Structure 1
Amino acid sequence: MIKKTLTLLFILFSFVGFSQKIIEKELTSDILETTRKLRIYIPEGYELDSIKNYPLAVVLDEEYLFDTYVGSAVLFAKKDKAPQQIIVGVAMEETKVKDISFNRTNGQLNADSRYFYEFLRDEVIFYMESTYRTSPFISLVGHGYSGNLVSHFLKEDTAFINSFICINPSFSDFIGGELQSYNLAKFGKEDNTFYFYTNNASSFSPLKQEKISRVQKGLKGLSIKNFNVINDYIKTSSSVSAIAEAVPRAMTKIFEIYSAISKEEYDKNIKDLSPKDAIYYLESKYLEIEFLFGTNLGIRERDIYAIESIIIEKENGDRLKEFGQMILKLFPTSPLGEYYIGRYYETGKMYKKALKYYKIGYGKMDPADPNSDAYYENVLRLGGQ
């Protein structure tokens, strides 16, 4: 309980720091024939970089879920566990019954909720994408019956939502048949990545737990390429605390590819690869990060070091040159690309070429860099060759 309380307090105090970046907007809707309040979080540094794009998160139940999501997003970005996001919260407090209503006899959306669905799809997302620099990666977040509404976006013929986050979902009794009718196999044909997150919780009624469990088991058994099913279970005595836990747990999985290579990722996906395949894996990871999230990280040095032993110890280091070229492609300002190319030539006793690359790499370094002296030893070592 203490740990959970500290987590909530941390998020609360984090929110104090980003509150000034919230924009309030009254969006006029032709579909709803009224205006609807939006709260928009713009990440720190947005105005300073006119090229960088950001993933978009559309958060329903703005009156309470928005602050929780933004707090987690800020923390994850600061810890380099997720990209910065542009987040829009959609007000539903006074209209929620109509916005999430569905036919109790078949689970289909009622007229009011269909209009709200179209408002989200055709007006909110359009407004955000046309007004702000968003990347192609879109998350849709809902809680309770709003989570049920989120699941209906799976039926779109064109897959444009990347992550469907259903927190404490209250699904209709017909959710199983609805999911079967959505042709989920279409996600496997897309050159993209998709996530469907649901959480169960010990605080839910037995009936709700059983319904969510059936949905989770059914989706997990599909094994659709590119469609990642995240089934979560939270032990808690309160459905409110389950919300606070579910949001960061969903982000951990959805933005897993963005994070630096963990021991789990290395052991599962990398350690048994050949040098060529390890280089391809790392290059693909960063190209996908740039495509999905609009973030050109270059490449993290810790990820370079993560696969270094594979490149050096397997195949007699014959892939060192290829490794260096890949680094230069993704991270041209780093001296590590020239270092590995230089090491390749030095291993082959082509000392003049090795010295050339060592000098170029050293020239990129700041003299104040604590590693610069160690790097220069490569130049000194070959200077007399």
Structure 2
Amino acid sequence: MKRMHFIVILSILISPFFISAQVTYKVVKSEKLQAERELKIQLPRNYNKNTGKKYPLVVVLDGDYLFEPVAGNIDYYSYWEDIPEAIVVGVNQIGSRESDTKVDFETLLPADEGALFFEFLGMELLPLLEKNYRIAPFKMIIGQNRTANFMNYYLFKDKSIFDAYINLSPDYLKPVHSNLANQLKAIDQKIWYYIATGSNDIPALHETILATDKRLRTLENQKLFYYFDNIENATHYTLVGKAIPSALEQIFSVFRAYSAKDYEILLETNALVDHLIEKYKTIENQYGLAIKIRVSDFVMIAKAIEVNEKYDEYKELSKLAIKAHEKTMLGDYFEARYYETNGKPKKALRKYQVAFGKEEVAFINKDLILEKINTLKKDFGL
């Protein structure tokens, strides 16, 4: 594999080194492993421009082959704002995968090189990344087969250093398989847990995974977000291509903009603006991401207001829109609609006139505003 390497000592500060969503190869020297480890790192497209923004971290085990499908899906889905942009770090394990995941069959815990690799990830790699990149509190780890089993040991710590686990056809060893359900049932922090298998997966793995799912789906813990896919006709290898986007979509389902299905729910909702506010509070609480309310979500709420004739809600909606998109027509248009539908044409006219001088947004353009202004003048002699 042809690539340029920069040697990075864990104790030395390194500077950010990305221009866009392109992969950079790094080599880090681990004191725990007494060896160098190769990393593949992808930063979001506008990482260097958005200097005040923090991003979730995705650690990809088996980075030599899993990194590319994970990084590609994250770049693609985040481009369309279905999931948040994220920093993706792949840990290459060619030649070391077996030793990295070594477990003592008496204690059934990571042992020897496995214990050192476990400490490398948690005690060296994560602090290094947090020191040199703008990382949000939300952290995810992904693995397949042996590495998927191995990463579950972080769940058995007093506090998991990862918030989300994507298990691709995990080869669950007895201690994980036996104790996983009890651990997830009792865990006192929010955990997103995803498992994927395929109908043509390795039979022994498939059977164990189905048994694990049967136990996990019955758990009652409000802090556990559990997802499972048994992908039809997928093998141990082909399931990866379908499981990764499915996992990302499910784990970040609250993050994406309102969909057509969500709109149907909104039509049955009494407090529309409260629903919008709660959506973005949930995004911040669950993922540690404070983002502006999207224009498309404002438009969806406005559409529901019009259909249900809940025009009073426009007042609060306008305040949110002015705060989030001050330079656009959005907030002033909503406020004008509030006055217009509440029998205050003069105030509505003034607000439409203010909106006319601002940037067009979504369906709100100068032609629409002029139409509104002319209608008010004609109907009320203003």
Normalised by the size of structure 1, how large is the TM-score?
0.84
**Cα gap change, 1:338 to 1:185, in 2 (>3 Å):** farther
Per-residue Cα deviation, 1:122-178 (whole angstroms, up to 9, x for no partner): 211111111011222211011111001122222232344221011111111233432
Following the alignment from structure 2 to structure 1, what is the Cα–Cα distance between the partners of residues 310 and 262? 25
Amino acid across the alignment from 2:110: L
CA shift, 1:255, in A, is 2.0
8 Å contact 1:53–1:293 — kept in the other structure? no
| Alignment partner, residue 266 of structure 2 | 270
| Alignment partner, residue 191 of structure 2 | 194
Amino acid across the alignment from 2:34: E
Per-residue Cα deviation, 1:41-84 (whole angstroms, up to 9, x for no partner): 12222112211222111000011001111111122122332222
Secondary structure of the structure 2 residue equivalent to 1:223: coil
Amino acid across the alignment from 1:205: I
Following the alignment from structure 1 to structure 2, what is the Cα–Cα distance between the partners of residues 47 and 261? 29
Following the alignment from structure 1 to structure 2, what is the Cα–Cα distance between the partners of residues 305 and 128? 38
Following the alignment from structure 2 to structure 1, what is the Cα–Cα distance between the partners of residues 156 and 327? 44
Secondary structure of the structure 1 residue equivalent to 2:187: helix
8 Å contact 2:77–2:83 — kept in the other structure? yes
8 Å contact 2:74–2:86 — kept in the other structure? yes
8 Å contact 1:154–1:184 — kept in the other structure? no
**Cα gap change, 1:20 to 1:320, in 2 (>3 Å):** closer
**Cα gap change, 1:122 to 1:357, in 2 (>3 Å):** farther
**Cα gap change, 1:117 to 1:270, in 2 (>3 Å):** farther
**2:312 aligned with 1:318:** yes
8 Å contact 2:169–2:205 — kept in the other structure? no
**Cα gap change, 1:376 to 1:209, in 2 (>3 Å):** same
The counterpart of 2:373, out of the listed 372, 379, 383, is 379
Following the alignment from structure 2 to structure 1, what is the Cα–Cα distance between the partners of residues 364 and 319? 24
Aligned counterparts, 1:82-231, within 5 A? 82-104=83-105, 107-182=108-183, 184-187=185-188, 190=189, 194-231=191-228
Structure 1 stretch displaced more, 311-320 or 29-38: 311-320
Amino acid across the alignment from 1:171: Y
Aligned counterparts, 1:14-29, within 5 A? 21-29=22-30
Per-residue Cα deviation, 1:256-308 (whole angstroms, up to 9, x for no partner): 222221233344x533210x2x2122122234445666766533333223233
Structure 2 unaligned regions, length at least 5: 1-18
| Alignment partner, residue 10 of structure 2 | none
Amino acid across the alignment from 1:340: F
Amino acid across the alignment from 2:223: N
| Alignment partner, residue 53 of structure 1 | 54
| Alignment partner, residue 239 of structure 1 | 236
Structure 1 stretch displaced more, 123-132 or 231-240: 231-240
| Alignment partner, residue 339 of structure 1 | 333
8 Å contact 2:191–2:225 — kept in the other structure? yes
8 Å contact 2:153–2:176 — kept in the other structure? no
**Cα gap change, 1:335 to 1:368, in 2 (>3 Å):** closer
8 Å contact 1:60–1:92 — kept in the other structure? yes
**2:350 aligned with 1:356:** yes
8 Å contact 1:311–1:319 — kept in the other structure? yes
Secondary structure of the structure 2 residue equivalent to 1:108: coil
Secondary structure of the structure 2 residue equivalent to 1:342: helix
CA shift, 1:226, in A, is 3.4
Following the alignment from structure 2 to structure 1, what is the Cα–Cα distance between the partners of residues 212 and 238? 22
Following the alignment from structure 2 to structure 1, what is the Cα–Cα distance between the partners of residues 29 and 109? 26
8 Å contact 1:312–1:320 — kept in the other structure? no
Secondary structure of the structure 2 residue equivalent to 1:260: coil
Among the aligned pairs, what percent are the same residue? 28
| Alignment partner, residue 284 of structure 1 | 278
Following the alignment from structure 2 to structure 1, what is the Cα–Cα distance between the partners of residues 96 and 245? 27
CA shift, 1:355, in A, is 2.4
| Alignment partner, residue 70 of structure 1 | 71
- Highest RCO, 1 vs 2 (Cα 8 Å, sep ≥ 6): 1
Secondary structure of the structure 1 residue equivalent to 2:165: strand
Secondary structure of the structure 2 residue equivalent to 1:349: coil
Following the alignment from structure 1 to structure 2, what is the Cα–Cα distance between the partners of residues 207 and 257? 34
- More helix by proportion, 1 or 2? 1
Amino acid across the alignment from 1:261: Y
**Cα gap change, 1:42 to 1:368, in 2 (>3 Å):** closer
Q: CA RMSD in A?
A: 2.7
**Cα gap change, 1:237 to 1:216, in 2 (>3 Å):** closer
CA shift, 1:194, in A, is 3.3
Amino acid across the alignment from 2:140: S
